[in-house]
Amino acid sequence: MSRFKFLWGVAILLVLVIVGVGGLTSSASATPLKPPAPPPVHQSFQVSQSYVPGSPAIQPRASQNTSGPAFTREDVIAFFNVHGFFAGPVVPGAHLQILTIQFVTAKQASQLMYGESVGRPDDYLVCYVKVQGPFLLTSVHMPHVKKAPTTAKYGDAAFDAHTGNLLVWGFYVQ
């Protein structure tokens, strides 16, 4: 009888220790340590902060140190033929049309985009592209709004002419 109780006690002991240690270790792994957040600092905005690298998109052919573009119009066409447009796929039955491809300054590209910032100095060379869908708007971030279109007829984008990186893309419903 005593031996039975002893074995029973050991078994319960093991279970409880496992549960206890398990609870400790699992909670420890679920609660990563993190340094305290510093209080917010509000510094004056510098436009150079907007000169970010962009997202890799068109593979450059030429050296990025040359003054001219590092890729061609054909590279742009090939990119859109493979990847489509950024807003989403064209509606069923439609085909993506590339309306224009222009190597222009960032200032000119901004003007073509109704004043949208391109994220480069005014005289910097970029590649502006305008396309036509219509496109389904599946990749659009938006607040909780009262109305949202599901398709857009036109889209545009600007690429860094030296790196091929995407700087901005957008769409116009009409």
Partner 1 sequence: MLLKQPKATHTTGYSILADRAITALFVLIVLFSSSLFLAGTAMAAGASAMTPQIPLSGYCNNPDPYSGHCYAERYWPGYTGGANTLINPYGALNCQGCTGFITDEMWFSDPYSSQCTSTAFQACWVEAGVSTYPANDPNNCIPGYDSTCLFWADERPNGGGYHEHPLYTFGGDGVDLTPYLIYITIANNNGFSSSGSAWSISTLIYESGNLIANPGGLSTNNTMNVDRVTIGSELSDSGASAGDFYFQDNQWMNGSGVWKYQTTTGTNDSTNPPPYGYWQTSPCSCSGNTGGSFETYD
Q: Which of residues 101-160 bind partner 1 (CB under 8 A)?
A: 110, 113-117, 119, 138-149, 152
Token reading at 53 = 């690298």
Judged by CB, which is closer to partner 1: 66, or 149?
149
Distance CA 169, CA 117 (A): 11
Amino acid at 137: L
Q: Within positions 39 to 58, which residues make up the interface with partner 1, using CB under 8 A?
A: 39-43, 45-47, 49-50, 52, 54-57
Q: How far is the CB of 122 from partner 1 (least distance, A)?
A: 12
Q: Is 95 in the site for partner 1 (CB under 8 A)?
A: no
Alpha carbons 105 and 120: distance in angstroms, whole number: 9
In whole angstroms, give the CA distance from residue 158 to residue 76: 11
Please report how close the Cβ of residue 164 comes to partner 1 at its closest, in angstroms.
11
Q: Which helix (H) or strand (E) holds 110?
A: helix 106-112
Residue nearer to partner 1 on the CB measure, 41 or 68: 41
5 contributes a contact to partner 1 by CB under 8 A: yes
Q: Minimum Å distance from CB 63 to partner 1?
A: 21
* Whole-number Cα distances in Å, 67 to 71, 118, 125: 12, 19, 8
Contact 166, 54 (CB under 8 A): yes
Minimum distance of partner 1 from residue 33's CB (angstroms): 7
Of 12, 62, 77, 99, the one binding partner 1 (CB under 8 A) is 12
Q: Tabulate helix, strand, coil % of the chain (nearest 5).
A: 30, 25, 50
Name the minimum Å distance from CB 51 to partner 1: 9
79 contributes a contact to partner 1 by CB under 8 A: yes
